[in-house]
Structure 1
Amino acid sequence: MSLHPQAIPPVPEETVQIARAILPNGNTCIHMRDALGTFFQDEDFLDLFPAKGQPAESPWRLALVMVMQYAEGLTDRQAADAVKTRIDWKYALSLEIKDPGFDFSMLSEFRARLLAHQAERRLFDLMLSQFRERGWVKARGKQRTDSTHVLAAIRAVNRLESVGETMRHVLNILAEVAPDWLLERVQPEWEKRYRSRFSDFRLPKEEKSRQELAEQIGADGRMLLESIWGSTTHAWLQELPAVEILRRIWIQQYHACEQGTPWRKDQELPPAALLIQSPYDMEARYSKKKQTGWVGYKVHFTGCDADQPHFVLEVTTTASTLPDGEVMEDLHERLADNRLLPSQHLVDKGYVDAELLATSQHRHQIDLVGPVLPDTSWASKEAGRFDHSHFHIDWKAKQVLCPAGQTSRDWGHIPDRHGKPRLRIRFPLPLCRVCTLHEKCSSTAAKVLILRPDEATYVALQQARKRQETAEFRALYAARAGIEGTVAQSVRTCEIRRSRYIGMKKLNLQAFLTATSINMLRACHWIAEAKLATTPTSRFAELLASVKQVAVA
């Protein structure tokens, strides 16, 4: 389909009259169109369409439909029906009352164009740029970031179901692309074993029987892989994604032995960050946070904290197993590219470590505000012992002076259990043994200090620990809770908790559409109310508050 940009038409007079007569004041779609316009124009999407071909549906309309669709949590079919039947949507889209709308598949095609051209964030950036022109979005203010878990668009399965579904999936694909080749190699028992979906309530309950079934499935998959790699006439089968999925899952779930296909024990599996959970979404991973376990991803929302609308300024989609702190450097770089860096960034404990405290301040002049882990060393657990503050560290000379006046012997770097560098400083063993302060200094024969690898990181951590004990920090950090409202709106209104599509790239598009819809709703509320939305108060709380006011009076 080709695109020939056209000017956005005004709302038809008949549509205006009916909408004003029937719809209540403050309707979101009408209010949005009157106060904020359409946000998008055909020229914004020229690069997504070829110059020749059948004329495409106006992309500005499709883009606006998707924003309104996510703002109401609608499916593609429901959104297309809303275009056909709802007067407020016709008003926002400049359509005649009798306009038949378009087929729901147009929305999927438009999303595919955005993905193909790596334009997942285009709608988000276009809307944000208009808010910047209005003065609602500014750099060097306060920002807040938090994440929410997202369930993948797949059925959660156990290990036995996963390998069974993997085998069934590849057989279905081969039956479609190479039926004759498959019929020559199919085993008689495969028809019963793989004809229907694997579900745990139909599988054996005894552990021995389950392991036997798992190893039988493993043997079937191995035989199929050997047949594919041994075929000279159908070597192209090796390139099928389903075959590659089968090969990777079999490597993870089974041992490679000459005799048989032994089922791996649970402790022999790869870590969660690498373990494939389903053949239908290779990127979804299992993760657990506190009491919540899920298979899917995480989405991080970064919003502003100001007297203007609390817009979402950035969105980050990651694997569910990636620690929150790993997103911060890339997040700050993207904010810098968009000229939206904050002066203070409020985050929870998961986003903060000593290295980030130092690098955020050094590279971008950002005050990263969040609780850090306390000192858990041997010396900090009992009063009267010597902790790091009792040692004089000369970073330039690479020496440390202990409370007894002795100088350190070794200064070197070692990795910690996560592979990150740490500084190890040791004192001479003969001097520590005879030292009168030894019992207050160390629980081992010789004192060993494990510190952050450089001065800037070490100083940043110590300053953060002192700062978080103050009343000023607690008052400042209390504002971080405001991002929970953004997360709640993304879950309850835009339904971000469950991925609509398969794969991280498509989920990233969903996350940006969700953020765009939230920003649109908040802009409409701001224009209508000229104030920030407040946290809802229950009637019971209001009753108690009124009683207190009467008592004080």
Structure 2
Amino acid sequence: MSMHEPLLGDYPIPEETARIARQVFPKGNVYMQLRDHFGMLYNNADFAHLFAREGQPALAPARLALVTVMQYMEGISDRQAADFVRDRISWKYALGLPLDDPGFDFSVLSEFRARLLTSDAERLLFDTVLELFRQEGLLKARGKQRSDSTAVLGAVRMLHRLEHVGETLRHALNTLAHLAPAWLRQVADPAWVERYGHRIEQYRFPKAEAQRQALAVTIGQDGYQLLTACWSPDAPDGVRSHPAVETLRRVWLQQYYRSDAAESPEVSLRLTSEQPPSAQIISSPYDPEARYTTKRETRWVGYKLHLTETCDDETPNLITHVATTPAPQADCTMTAPIQEALAAKELLPQEHYLDRGYVDADHIVQSARTHQIELVGPVITDPSWQARTPGGISLAQFVLDWEAQQAICPRGIASQSWSPAQDQHGNEMIVIHFPRSACRACDDQANCTKAKDGARTLSVRPQAHHEAIQMTRTQQQTGAFRKKYRRRAGIEGTFTQANRRCDLRHARYIGLAKVRLQHLITAIALNLFRALAWLAEVPRAQTRTSAFAKLMG
């Protein structure tokens, strides 16, 4: 495909389209307002690098990009979006199309998204609109921003372990039936038709545990038989390297153990303790990048979405960063990447509001040192038994003399050693030992230590990290902190709005890259709604209160 459209064409609205649209919508609607305030959003020049110089002419990418955004604003499918282009006056107004324009086939939209992903241009859609907001004065750096994450269900069902291995083998067989039918007919066992010719579901399995284990072994043996055939010299080209076969190989490595006996190798399911961590284990053959995880009582297979948005009083709340990760990835691993991405866009905040999952001593120190950002969020409380026991002597009660490299306990006893060390994660630590004789003679020993030798030992982070964590623990107990921290809660409303309008918590596509693109376009849609509402001086909605809470309040 090649682009023959003008690079900077703004596609003026045809006179007849404008006249009829304003007659039908005398006050305008959201799509007419979008065009009036922000124009086409995109230029063809933004996407010129995605197309060849010669070939069949492509539809104007600026229009396709705008249709894609409006599709998410409506929360509709590709087919519905293509129909809207044909029969919605306001969409023709926004796109600068005549009323009799026939539109295009709905498959063009998926092809356009694929082109964006192939060229790693998906963030172009999002960042272009952010720059437009900046030019309009709706977005500024060094204000207040907040981040949080939410679960995103993959477009696959959650599988029991036996269902998982059965479906993985069935998926490979169905794929090979299209790729190399004649070869598969020769190597396949006729008994496989009964075992894998239909969807693998729990109710089809035997009830007795011994029979279920035997079935698991049979599936394992069948899978190894197919893999051996795929790796044989007689296998057709493309069989061994096909993603479905590679997924089968990886799942069998994760789920099964096979002995090295040459004549009759034994196959058995691996113990749970022998399996990889959830961040690595494939949960479904239909989306190998979706992962299983839990958060409190919630369990899901899919992804996790991190949103960052502005939360200043004098500007609209606009999403500035979108990150989609595998579901098991911890929130704390995203604090630094989020800030680095905001720095690259010159959109760093002065105050960054986060929940406990994103904040630790390293983040507090590095945010202030590297980006001059104040992290506003609670940290984990002291997990030691002393801090949780009334009368216990916790770390916070010791005085640390960093220059003298000495600690003083509440009884005035000085430490006898101060040694650099590392914890199990490689973080720098300082291990402080107190004299055994002094601790044994102390009346508060029972409230201070349970060590077998009777001496108290402290493990603390370097000075900057220790003081940051202790100061934050003290501040988060105050009313002033709780009042300031209320600002973070507003991002929950963003997730609710995105879920209602764009079904945010359900992946529409398969694969991390496509789901990330879904989230970027969702963020654009929300930003446009909010920017237009702000320009129309629509007041922000207040937090909803239930009827019962209002009554009792």
Q: TM-score range by the shorter chain?
A: over 0.9
Corresponding residue number in structure 1 for 2:508:
500
How much has 1:51 moved relative to structure 2? 1.1
Say if 1:537 and 1:409 are closer, same or farther in 2 by CA, change over 3 A.
Answer: closer
The unaligned stretches of length 5 or more in structure 2 are: none
Residue identity matched to 1:160: L
Structure 2 CA distance, aligned partners of 1:318 and 1:117? Answer: 20
Corresponding residue number in structure 1 for 2:32:
30
- Checking the alignment, whether the CA contact within 8 Å between 1:65 and 1:79 is kept in structure 2 is yes
Structure 1 CA distance, aligned partners of 2:403 and 2:221? Answer: 62
CA shift digits 1:429-450 (9 cap, x unpaired): 3443334553343222343444
- Give the alignment partner of residue 421 of structure 2, picking from 396, 413, 422: 413
CA shift digits 1:110-152 (9 cap, x unpaired): 1111111111111111111011011111111010111111111
- Checking the alignment, whether the CA contact within 8 Å between 1:309 and 1:523 is kept in structure 2 is yes
- Give the alignment partner of residue 467 of structure 1, picking from 458, 461, 475: 475
Corresponding residue number in structure 1 for 2:109:
107
Q: Give yes or no for the alignment of 1:3 onto 2:11.
A: no
Within a 5 Å distance, the mapping from 1:262-281 to structure 2 comes to: 262-281=268-287
Within a 5 Å distance, the mapping from 1:298-317 to structure 2 comes to: 298-306=304-312, 307-317=314-324
Within a 5 Å distance, the mapping from 1:341-352 to structure 2 comes to: 341-352=348-359
Structure 1 CA distance, aligned partners of 2:40 and 2:546? Answer: 36
Corresponding residue number in structure 1 for 2:402:
395
Structure 1 CA distance, aligned partners of 2:385 and 2:535? Answer: 57
- Checking the alignment, whether the CA contact within 8 Å between 2:17 and 2:93 is kept in structure 1 is yes
Within a 5 Å distance, the mapping from 1:78-477 to structure 2 comes to: 78-231=80-233, 234=236, 237-257=239-259, 258=261, 259-306=265-312, 307-402=314-409, 403-409=411-417, 411-416=419-424, 420=427, 422-444=429-451, 445-477=453-485
How much has 1:107 moved relative to structure 2? 0.7
Corresponding residue number in structure 2 for 1:551:
none
Corresponding residue number in structure 2 for 1:513:
521
Say if 1:183 and 1:410 are closer, same or farther in 2 by CA, change over 3 A.
Answer: same
Structure 2 CA distance, aligned partners of 1:237 and 1:154? Answer: 24
How much has 1:21 moved relative to structure 2? 2.1
- Checking the alignment, whether the CA contact within 8 Å between 2:144 and 2:351 is kept in structure 1 is yes
Structure 1 CA distance, aligned partners of 2:531 and 2:63? Answer: 19
Structure 2 CA distance, aligned partners of 1:359 and 1:178? Answer: 55
Q: Give RMSD over aligned pairs.
A: 2.2
- Checking the alignment, whether the CA contact within 8 Å between 2:16 and 2:99 is kept in structure 1 is yes
Q: Give yes or no for the alignment of 1:63 onto 2:70.
A: no
Say if 1:456 and 1:268 are closer, same or farther in 2 by CA, change over 3 A.
Answer: same
How much has 1:227 moved relative to structure 2? 2.7
Deviates more, 1:401-410 or 1:161-170: 401-410
Say if 1:36 and 1:277 are closer, same or farther in 2 by CA, change over 3 A.
Answer: same
The unaligned stretches of length 5 or more in structure 1 are: 549-553
CA shift digits 1:394-426 (9 cap, x unpaired): 33454333344333325242424x665543322
Residue identity matched to 1:411: S
Say if 1:265 and 1:134 are closer, same or farther in 2 by CA, change over 3 A.
Answer: same
Say if 1:450 and 1:54 are closer, same or farther in 2 by CA, change over 3 A.
Answer: farther
Q: Percent identity?
A: 46
Corresponding residue number in structure 1 for 2:493:
485
Structure 1 CA distance, aligned partners of 2:549 and 2:101? Answer: 49
SS in 2 for 1:121: helix
- Checking the alignment, whether the CA contact within 8 Å between 1:3 and 1:50 is kept in structure 2 is yes
SS in 1 for 2:305: strand
- Checking the alignment, whether the CA contact within 8 Å between 1:145 and 1:301 is kept in structure 2 is yes
How much has 1:456 moved relative to structure 2? 1.0
SS in 1 for 2:518: helix
Structure 1 CA distance, aligned partners of 2:539 and 2:242? Answer: 55
- Checking the alignment, whether the CA contact within 8 Å between 1:5 and 1:43 is kept in structure 2 is no
Structure 2 CA distance, aligned partners of 1:538 and 1:233? Answer: 64
- Checking the alignment, whether the CA contact within 8 Å between 2:406 and 2:414 is kept in structure 1 is no
Structure 2 CA distance, aligned partners of 1:419 and 1:205? Answer: 47
Structure 1 CA distance, aligned partners of 2:194 and 2:447? Answer: 72
How much has 1:351 moved relative to structure 2? 1.1
Residue identity matched to 1:285: R
SS in 2 for 1:2: coil
Say if 1:56 and 1:109 are closer, same or farther in 2 by CA, change over 3 A.
Answer: same
- Checking the alignment, whether the CA contact within 8 Å between 1:379 and 1:441 is kept in structure 2 is yes
How many aligned positions are there?
Answer: 544
Deviates more, 1:482-491 or 1:427-436: 427-436
Residue identity matched to 1:152: G
- Checking the alignment, whether the CA contact within 8 Å between 1:144 and 1:305 is kept in structure 2 is yes
SS in 2 for 1:137: coil
- Checking the alignment, whether the CA contact within 8 Å between 1:424 and 1:448 is kept in structure 2 is no
Structure 2 CA distance, aligned partners of 1:381 and 1:367? Answer: 29
- Checking the alignment, whether the CA contact within 8 Å between 2:415 and 2:432 is kept in structure 1 is no
How much has 1:501 moved relative to structure 2? 0.9
TM-score scaled to structure 1, two decimals?
0.93
Corresponding residue number in structure 2 for 1:45:
47
Structure 2 CA distance, aligned partners of 1:536 and 1:467? Answer: 29
Structure 2 CA distance, aligned partners of 1:539 and 1:387? Answer: 45
- Checking the alignment, whether the CA contact within 8 Å between 1:370 and 1:477 is kept in structure 2 is yes
Structure 1 CA distance, aligned partners of 2:427 and 2:250? Answer: 29
SS in 2 for 1:309: coil
TM-score scaled to structure 2, two decimals?
0.93
Deviates more, 1:72-81 or 1:177-186: 177-186
Say if 1:252 and 1:448 are closer, same or farther in 2 by CA, change over 3 A.
Answer: farther
Deviates more, 1:528-537 or 1:61-70: 528-537
Structure 2 CA distance, aligned partners of 1:381 and 1:155? Answer: 42
Q: Give yes or no for the alignment of 1:534 onto 2:536.
A: no
Residue identity matched to 1:488: T
Structure 2 CA distance, aligned partners of 1:243 and 1:98? Answer: 49
How much has 1:213 moved relative to structure 2? 1.1
